[in-house]
Structure 1
Amino acid sequence: MGDLTVVEICAGAGGQSLGLELAGFQHRLAVELDENAAATLKANRDWEVAVGDVADPSVWEPMEYAEGLDLLAGGVPCPPFSIAGKQLGASDERDLFAWAVELVGRMQPRAVLLENVRGLSMPRFAAYRQHVKDRLAELGYWSDWKMLEARDFGVAQLRPRFILVGLREEDARYFDWPEPTPYAGTVGTALRDLMAQGGWRGADAWAERANGIAPTIVGGSKRHGGADLGPTRAKRAWAELGVDAMGVADEPPKADYPENFVPKLTTEMVARIQGWHGSDDYRWEFTGRKTSRYRQIGNAFPPPVARAVGAAIAAALNHEGTPRDLSETVVEVMHDPVYVALKEATKPLTIRQIVRSSRGAIDAREIEQRIGRLSRDFHIKEDGEGEERTYVLGEFKGFVGQEDHLRHLAFQAARSTIS
């Protein structure tokens, strides 16, 4: 245990929590909406856990935990950016990414860590990403995005996650993204002992067949039925590994099951695939009924990945290693040249002027399409007609704490199905 402190929002059942603890961070507070996930946190650690909407002032008061805070971390809701969803971004009542950035401005931690699905890295959200970086820069933070896959950090699963790290300049000069430590085994080697627990004689043959890495575990939400292992493509990948992905089993296959039986995974097996290994370091108890346990596990940030990123942040905060030029640490992430042109403009721009401002990065035929995409997350003021039509970038549509934002009504209406 270290002496660095963390406040974690949207903590879930503790994947990121455990990883950060193993990286040397002590929790001042964890905030979580789902009562079952919060119960799991409380069952595993004697932390203070606030249960409820993280953006509700009655649930917690951020400034009570802000003094001298080292890290603000969280896995804010994924549905606004998920490729499997509508990708509503700032228009989704569950979107808390921009709100979390404003929370950084209020609490002023030395570092911030936010993770989300790979959909946030897509062209659709180029302007959203740049808005986040611009806002963090205004607040005094260097920041960088990077895609990390769980299999590159000792987890038997693909699970790409899009990670944002922000630090003060004096600490950022010591930050390096963690070096990969790829998983050396397969789904079979990871789960063979669990699959054999019930005495099933086919466990060894099954483990040999399950000779690849698992597709991304999909926890799903309260809006979508019971527990299964994901969409059609994921189910096909599981079938190739010898797994029935149409549900989650209550127990491992029994001794009297035929050797060619195609098993389902138990929640314990899913947890192993998520990075909760059998070792004492990663031991974790999940509370609630089976479907709830599965969702808690499936929606988590794999602890080994959180540990690796957390350790990199801790090293930067402790000024370990040799400081370097910040430009050397930046990973190029595609941004929207239309957003950049409109943001930097001092007057309304025509399409021709936007093309000129982008220095050839985009042609006129794409401008209207990109402006339409941009208008999902920002107010765009249009004036005039034809080639003289002009555009002005207005305010960000997302929820950043406004008392009169439509998010509040939408959130309350959907409260029972948000997880």
Structure 2
Amino acid sequence: MTGASDDSSYEVVELCAGAGGQALGLERAGFKHRLAVELDSNAFTTLQTNIPGKIEINEEEREIVQQGDVADPAVFNPEDHREVALLAGGVPCPPFTIAGKQLGANDERDLFAWAVEQVDKVRPRALMLENVRGLSLPRFSGYRQYVLDRLAEFKYVAEWRLLNACDFGVPQLRPRFVLVAMQEDDAKYFKWPEPVAKQLTVSAAIHDLMGANGWEGLEQWMKDADKIGPTIVGGSKKHGGADLGPTRAKRAWAELSVDAMGVADAPPARDAQFRTMANPAPGPKLTTEMVARIQGWLPGYEWTFTGRKTTRYRQIGNAFPPPVAEAVGSAILKALKHEGETVSRETSSHDPVYKVLRELGGYVPTSVILNRATLGNGIAELEERITQLRRDFDIDPQPMSDGSLAYKLGEFKAFIGQANHERHEKFVQNRAKIS
């Protein structure tokens, strides 16, 4: 492994790279891409446009950006990237999204656990995975605990953190749940990035674009939109054209005098009317250029999005905001360079019931679980946690002589690379709908 002071060693392999929000942020932080893999053809074209070039792997010249299923060894072979500085990714979020079914390990799009397994094969100095806020909810406490325990088995120190994009210079809320893991020698130098001193509002970020055609209503609009925007929702191939999200999001945008029912082709004309009896819409629609700014592609974050309007919008709306990726990436790079003071980090616990079942093995009586796990609501909470765990793990109950139950923790249902996993068939069946 290259020493911490050698700048040439800071390469990144990025899985499920999307349209490049994380890619741009990590490169601005100081990482250089060794590989970026993306399934969606439109996002792949955007990545190719912005990250051209080739790299030599095993005496063979290959494109840095690759298209395909990242779990296909022909697309991504972990052995080709041993001891890379950073393994990163924005694995698909639908398995965990609050608005979805929260299928977690039972969703063919779930690659989070699979990505964690690649750590033992690649042995990167650091891992960074991001996903939606839904993964932080109690529903997935067992899933998170599995991930932490697995990384600990690989001798990595891991920690989750919920980060709001607005705390890092992005004019929207956009909470993201980020996992960072490092080898023990580097982990003690890692510190999560601090929020910016002043948050950026929607009007401050895009007023120049909104007024590009000399719109006479700009001044009033700027007052209305001088706030942090709601989370941009990119949507998926399963749904229709571009708009700014579900009903609740549309109402929130209306409070900023933005019409969220679609995306405009151009900024408002000079004499465009602003909320009249004949025009009851809350205000102008955003263009894709404006959406990109709100997603964090601010001046200085140059990037070219390819495709037609709806395609560009979805790429932008599903991206990890570059300033957030840059902030976390910079913190990781500082740790890899062993900069700053060291910090002590306590092992976090996400699901006490899972931990008891895993540590004791076999059938564990309810009384033992209650005695060893700290549960505020006793048997009721235990039953609820067992119900949630069953969604991601095989849990086998066994009656006891006193009428109570004992529970045994079985297999994790998620795809982690198994050749016979049902994910393969489901993926082939639904590939055209996955985005």
TM-score by length of 2: 0.92
Q: Which consecutive residues of structure 2, in runs of 5 or more, have no partner in the other structure?
A: 1-6, 54-63
Correspondence for 2:135? 120
Correspondence for 1:298? 317
1:190-220 deviation digits (Å, cap 9, x = unpaired): 1111011123211222111112101001111
Given that 2:166 and 2:200 are in contact with CA atoms closer than 8 Å, whether structure 1 keeps it comes out as no
Give the SS at the match of 1:39: helix
- 1:16-415 paired onto structure 2 within 5 Å: 16-47=22-53, 48-66=64-82, 68-260=83-275, 262-279=283-300, 282-327=301-346, 335-384=350-399, 387-415=403-431
Deviation at 1:116, TM superposition (A): 0.3
Distance 1:307 1:410 in 2: 34
CA RMSD of aligned residues (A): 1.6
Distance 1:354 1:91 in 2: 26
Deviation at 1:323, TM superposition (A): 2.0
Distance 2:135 2:91 in 1: 12
Deviation at 1:353, TM superposition (A): 2.0
Correspondence for 2:16? 10
- Cα distance, 1:259–1:388 mapped onto 2, change above 3 Å: closer
Letter in 1 for 2:88: A
Given that 1:156 and 1:183 are in contact with CA atoms closer than 8 Å, whether structure 2 keeps it comes out as no
Letter in 2 for 1:22: R
Given that 1:352 and 1:364 are in contact with CA atoms closer than 8 Å, whether structure 2 keeps it comes out as no
Distance 2:374 2:22 in 1: 41
1:268-322 deviation digits (Å, cap 9, x = unpaired): 000000110022xx01110011111011000111000000000000000000012
Letter in 2 for 1:396: F
Q: Which consecutive residues of structure 1, in runs of 5 or more, have no partner in the other structure?
A: none
Letter in 1 for 2:263: V
Deviation at 1:367, TM superposition (A): 2.1
Letter in 2 for 1:302: P
- Cα distance, 1:360–1:271 mapped onto 2, change above 3 Å: closer
Distance 1:105 1:65 in 2: 12
Deviation at 1:412, TM superposition (A): 0.9
Identity rate of aligned residues, in percent? 60
Number of residue pairs aligned between Structure 1 and Structure 2: 412
- Cα distance, 1:372–1:185 mapped onto 2, change above 3 Å: closer
Distance 2:67 2:329 in 1: 24
1:126-162 deviation digits (Å, cap 9, x = unpaired): 0100100000000110000001101100111101000
Give the SS at the match of 2:286: coil
TM-score by length of 1: 0.95
Given that 2:361 and 2:409 are in contact with CA atoms closer than 8 Å, whether structure 1 keeps it comes out as no
**Higher deviation after alignment, 258-267 or 31-40:** 258-267
Given that 1:78 and 1:117 are in contact with CA atoms closer than 8 Å, whether structure 2 keeps it comes out as yes
Give the SS at the match of 2:130: strand
**Higher deviation after alignment, 256-265 or 52-61:** 256-265
1:15-42 deviation digits (Å, cap 9, x = unpaired): 0000000000000000001111011011
Give the SS at the match of 1:98: helix
